[in-house]
Amino acid sequence: MCLYVFAYDIHPYYRLILASNRDEYYDRPTEKAHFWESHPNVLAGRDMEKHGTWMGITKTGRFAAVTNYRDPSSQLLNTHSRGTLVSSFLTNDISPEEYMTKIINNRNFYNGFNLLVADLSSFVYYNKLLHSIEMLKPGIYGLSNRFLDTPWPKVKKSRQALVNYLKDHSIVEPESLFEIMADTETAPEKELPDTGIGLEREKLLSSIFIQGDDYGTRSSTILLIDRKNHVILLERSFDRNINHYETVSYEFDIS
């Protein structure tokens, strides 16, 4: 499970402003964001169980991110890891449109997913169930575990918080975006979706920042790409306590 809110190509100083949370079981081994030894252009965290990643960017300006589609009734056995959808794009050089066409032809190897891929010229969204490629126009978007901009409480709340912040700030401070993603308030029961996981689980997963006994928000990431193609990425990794974290930061110019 993950949450992304992002402003694409609407800000006078930034091509992309993105804030995200990665939610996962606490015992799943993970590497923090780093430049991969096997592919030095790739900056991303790594899931050490399946060896893919949930989000990353390259020195050439390629970006990708994935979320699961939440529907226990549609789960398939013996599928490929959805994290490889991101890592394969980051380590490839074909266009986002060509890549999505390739994914469509292989979609049944994966459980339900949302995929975002981009370079400096286009930003593309695909959901396995909708089965259509969407070329994103400039705007502010939110994505969790249904469809792009599905109005789940956490999506609406975090997206509106980003809208409000950008109205008042021409220069983006990453700490302010981390604050948006650190909201632990759960949604009222009447606003919860019914995705087949039960009311208690729906409530746990309804907060922007999740704190469960065995599952929760493992990291928050802020990604900024300005109009001069300068990249800032900060990742804050948590243990089971929101107040205990380690931060890594990277800056580079897209080549």
CATH of 2-253, one of 3.30.420.40, 3.40.50.300, 2.60.40.10, 3.60.60.10: 3.60.60.10
Residue 206: which of 182, 189, 221 has the closest Cα?
189
Q: What is the pLDDT of residues 2-19, one digit of tens each?
A: 999 999 999 999 999 999
**Strand, coil or helix: 185:** coil
d(CA 44, CA 64): 10
d(CA 250, CA 53): 17
d(CA 181, CA 161): 10
Residue 216: which of 186, 236, 245, 239 has the closest Cα?
239
> 30-35 and 245-253: which strand pairing?
unpaired
**241 pLDDT more than 90:** no
- CA dihedral in degrees (195, 55, 179, 149; nearest 10)? -40
**254 pLDDT more than 90:** yes
68: phi then psi, degrees, rounded to nearest 5: -75, 155
Task: Measure Cα distances from 129 to 2, 26, 29 in Å.
Answer: 18, 28, 29
d(CA 116, CA 13): 22
Q: What is the pLDDT of residues 117-147, one digit of tens each?
A: 999 999 999 999 998 899 999 999 999 999 9
Q: What is the pLDDT of residues 29-66, one digit of tens each?
A: 999 999 999 999 999 999 999 999 999 999 999 999 99
Give me the residue spans of the domains in the chain. Answer: 2-253
Lowest mean pLDDT among 77-81, 86-90, 160-164: 77-81
Q: Is the pTM of this model over 0.95?
A: yes
51: phi then psi, degrees, rounded to nearest 5: 70, 20
d(CA 7, CA 125): 14
DSSP secondary structure letters along 129-141: TTTEEEEPPSEEE
Q: What value does the mean pLDDT take over residues 71-75?
A: 89
